[in-house]
Amino acid sequence: RFFAGEKKPLAGKRVLVTAGGTVERLDPVRYLTNDSSGKMGYAIAEEAVRMGAQVTLVSGPTALSAPAGAQLVRVQSALDMREAVLSRLDAQDVVVKAAAVADYRPAEAATQKIKKKADTLTLQLVKNPDILQEIGTLKTHQFVIGFAAETENLDDYAMDKLNRKNCDLIVGNDVSQAGAGFGTDTNIVRIYDRSGLVQALSLRSKSEVARELLQLAAQRLISVGD
Ligand code: CTP
Ligand code: CA
């Protein structure tokens, strides 16, 4: 992919990627989760390794194997993911939050299997912390890339998330389009920075999306730092 002798664009950089969906326990045998396959985040981790970065992949449960050369940290819940990410934040140059973090978790996880009783059962859910928003508040030098999964108003919603969560770039995907979003090997994305749309990528493999995204990040890292 790179010409012989060409410097790898992320050499010497530490990149943390989150991937997959989180699992929120209801009881010892039941949980809430979402359709995230982890493919986008794993593709980013793999490309980051290829570009020379030292990569940590914080992943919810997926069917994928860890990309060679990346350090895999397995987590279950949003709270686990938060801890795994924030405890490693200081050491990172780039953070990419591709994970589909559950917005809510059961107010309590029962220690024993919940027994079948009445005809209806109401679950109380409480909001999970927004990890990306916390990173946006805590970051010092890190280049932060968020994702926005939307089914409508992609440009507006993605820009709103970028601003609220203080990201350097945000990757918007319209998950209602065929070939984009959850579970597929391909994606269709629009990448934004603070001033608006930077790049619109038509249907292509998640590996290609990962490469384009990391190339943008690498260019911007160079223009900020060293
Ligand atoms: N995210 C996060 N922690 C959460 C929820 C989301 O870090 N508790 C991150 C995701 O990893 C992603 C970005 O925030 O990078 C946007 O996630 P998304 O679900 O699209 O946005 P939300 O802010 O959760 O808003 P909504 O689901 O209502 O659209
Ligand atoms: Ca959400």
Alpha-carbon distance of 46 to 77, in angstroms, equals 23
Tokens of 134: 């916390």
Kindly indicate the confidence band of residue 44, based on its pLDDT and cuts at 50, 70 and 90.
very high
Helix 131-138 × helix 78-86 angle, to 10° = 20
**DSSP type of residue 25:** E
Q: Which amino acid is at 12?
A: G
Q: Could you tell me if the CB of 132 is within 6 A of ligand 1?
A: yes
Asked if 126 contacts 25 with a C-beta cutoff of 8 angstroms, the reply is no
7-19: pLDDT as tens digits: 799 999 999 999 9
Would you call 140 exposed, middle or buried from its count of C-beta atoms within 10 A (0-12, 13-18, 19+)? exposed
ipTM above 0.90, yes or no: yes
Atom in ligand 1 nearest the alpha carbon of residue 164: 23
In the residue annotation, 166 being an active-site residue is answered as no
C-alpha separations of 124 from 14, 59, 104, 109, 111 in Å: 39, 26, 10, 11, 16
Q: Could you tell me if the CB of 103 is within 6 A of ligand 1?
A: yes
DSSP 31-58: EE--S--SHHHHHHHHHHHHTT-EEEEE
User: Measured in angstroms, how far is the CA atom of residue 116 from the centroid of ligand 1?
Assistant: 33
Kindly indicate the confidence band of residue 75, based on its pLDDT and cuts at 50, 70 and 90.
very high
Nearest C-alpha to atom 17 of ligand 1 is from which residue?
Answer: 148
Alpha-carbon distance of 26 to 162, in angstroms, equals 32
Ligand positioned closest to the Cα atom of 133: 1
Residue (of 102, 100, 81) closest to 41 by Cα position:
100
Q: Could you tell me if the CB of 99 is within 6 A of ligand 1?
A: yes
Beta strands 186-193 and 196-205 are antiparallel
pLDDT at residue 6, rounded to an integer: 59
Q: Could you tell me if the CB of 131 is within 6 A of ligand 1?
A: yes
Pocket test of ligand 1: the residue of 101, 192, 213 to mutate, having most ligand atoms within 8 Å of its CB, is 101
Largest CA distance in the chain: 69
Residues near ion ligand 2 (Cβ under 5 Å): 103
Kindly indicate the confidence band of residue 181, based on its pLDDT and cuts at 50, 70 and 90.
confident
Contacts 24+ apart (CB under 8 A), 2-10: 7/52, 8/50, 8/51, 8/52, 9/51, 9/52, 9/214, 9/215, 9/218, 9/219, 9/222, 10/48, 10/51, 10/52, 10/53, 10/94, 10/214, 10/218, 10/221
Alpha-carbon distance of 126 to 183, in angstroms, equals 26
Q: pTM (2 decimals)?
A: 0.95
Atom in ligand 1 nearest the alpha carbon of residue 129: 8
Asked if 190 contacts 154 with a C-beta cutoff of 8 angstroms, the reply is yes
* 164, pLDDT greater than 60: yes
Where do the DSSP E strands lie in 90-220?
94-97, 104-106, 125-127, 143-150, 169-174, 186-193, 196-205
pLDDT at residue 118, rounded to an integer: 96
Q: Which residues are annotated as a binding site for CTP?
A: 103, 113, 129-132, 147, 161, 165
User: Measured in angstroms, how far is the CA atom of residue 131 from the centroid of ligand 1?
Assistant: 8
Ligand positioned closest to the Cα atom of 126: 1
